[in-house]
Chains A and B, each alone.
Chain A
């Protein structure tokens, strides 16, 4: 069973391929805003290197965000359309889950914090269990200092991780920050995406291509403004 997975929710593009429960290859590259330029060639190259024929794919997994709106649209449109042409299902996984997933071994509760710009962050909290990281509560969008204050109030020893922590180093100065020499750990990566998709595929937890949607968490400015004016 071949799986292709990719995430475009941050300023990175992460792509991975797997077969029979094994991750065969991954790529992660810093793209700034060039998701559309980089994603398809990276998929092509990685599949070639890993000897994965696109026609042998049984599912496409994609990071749903929350994150950069344009990046998400590029990734999700690519996933939906490839799956549509191949007539295979899609599995959507939150991009925050992809940051949390590899940290299960640390054995501590983790808050994944992604940069949402406009002095806000996207976040979600995870508890390690024997079945992997389990999310507690919803995905949220809020100011970094509000999250930092909430974490300071309870003594659960939360570990903060993600590119939102890098972007708001001051706000999280007094939090326990996840440190790693590998800065990929701050971004959603493709290996957990392929691994999660493999498990879900076996459980038949997939959907039609058109049933995966970006996790925006925020409405468009025009809609927010519309409601604010109370029209």
Chain B
């Protein structure tokens, strides 16, 4: 039995988890900083970094207690080493390396994006490859083909804002709270998604995304129609984003020959996106896999699970390793 502690501090969640043999979730603790960043309308890197320092040790203690594990039982310690906010990443990396040194066990630095991809296996160990994966959150909007474990192909990503960022910005334009995703999701249910023809940026232009122009279109619309129904704005904006995301995920599946559509990231919680993805899967004869929400958003489980596999294929990461805020997803096979 191999027990790995996984630490994740790349953005605004301080998370730690204990995973057995890369699959069995013994514990998962996620401490969200949403309240700290709410008044700023987005994640403030320095505020996030400071909060991680204050939270990390109690989150680790809780993850061990929940798993009924002592420090001495751990076989390896892993941390997310990027991409993400550099100051935030370094807190998790420092904690993991300190533990690895003290406990004399391997340290494993994990790519955050690879972690998200591994959430699919955690949900369904027998999932059929290749996978077409849409990672969509406040930090990323990316299409990846998983050809086999360790072999990834980045098919497209956003050229400006992440989709979750667009939700936050539009929520602010509409005078809703932070985070914007849930607020818009709720409001959109009561609105008419076809009432306003917002653009579908780059929808027929390959697999990259752009959401900055859509956000501007919403801003202009709201300025021109100050008395318009905000529910219609929310519904029409959301529909535009969902149209683009679903269309491109299907295109990615066509290109990669994937029989399974996977979604990860915080925006995967959006009810309209889930509904449309389910429809698209059924219509195209593909399986849809959306990991449960606490595995979609940033968490320590995906770090520990990826580390288990990494450790077997590549061995430990040097204790001289740091963090890389713009680490990209690279195939290792």
Contacts and interface: CB of A to CB of B under 8 A. Distances in A.
B320 A214 contact: no
Given A37-B322, A78-B94, A210-B57, A44 B49 contact: no
Interface residues of A, number: 36
A85 B47 contact: no
Contacts of A41: 319-320
Contacts of B182: none
A73 B45 CA distance: 13
B223 to A, nearest CB: 22
Interface of B: 39-40, 44, 46-47, 49-50, 52-54, 56-58, 60-61, 71, 86-87, 90-91, 93-95, 97-103, 319-323
A81 B46 contact: no
Contact of A81 (B56, B321, B322): B56
A132 to B, nearest CB: 29
Contacts of A28: none
Nearest to A78: B98
B101 to A, nearest CB: 5
A215 B282 CA distance: 56
A77 B101 contact: no
B47 A220 contact: yes
Given A36-B94, A80-B57, A82-B101, A73 B46 contact: no
A44 B53 contact: no
A22 B71 CA distance: 30
Interface of A: 34-41, 43-44, 54, 69-70, 73-74, 76-82, 84-86, 209-210, 213-214, 216, 220-223, 226, 231
A127 B56 CA distance: 38
A111 to B, nearest CB: 28
A73 B95 CA distance: 10
A73 B71 CA distance: 22
B94 A85 contact: no
B97 A40 contact: yes
Given A54-B101, A82-B101, A77 B50 contact: no
Contacts of B39: 226, 231
A81 B50 contact: no
21 contacts: A36-B322, A38-B320, A40-B319, A41-B320, A43-B101, A54-B101, A70-B49, A73-B53, A77-B90, A77-B95, A78-B94, A82-B99, A84-B60, A84-B61, A85-B71, A85-B103, A213-B54, A216-B50, A222-B40, A222-B47, A226-B39
Question: Interface residues of A: mostly helix, strand, loop or mixed?
Answer: helix
Contacts of B101: 40, 43-44, 54, 82
B137 to A, nearest CB: 21
A85 B99 contact: yes
A35 to B, nearest CB: 8
Contact of A37 (B56, B86, B91, B320): B320
A36 B90 contact: yes
A45 B84 CA distance: 30
B102 A82 contact: yes
Contacts of A38: 320
Q: Which of B50, B54, B101, B103 has the most CB of A within 10 A?
A: B101
Contacts of B94: 36, 39-40, 73-74, 77-78, 81
Contacts of A220: 44, 46-47, 50
> Could you say which of A35, A79, A80 has the most chain B C-beta atoms within 10 Å of its C-beta?
A80
A162 to B, nearest CB: 24
A36 B47 contact: no
A73 B87 contact: yes
Contacts of B53: 73, 76-77, 213-214
Given A40-B100, A54-B102, A78-B94, 17 more contacts: A40-B94, A41-B319, A43-B101, A77-B91, A77-B98, A81-B94, A81-B98, A81-B102, A82-B101, A84-B57, A85-B99, A213-B54, A216-B50, A222-B46, A222-B47, A226-B40, A231-B39
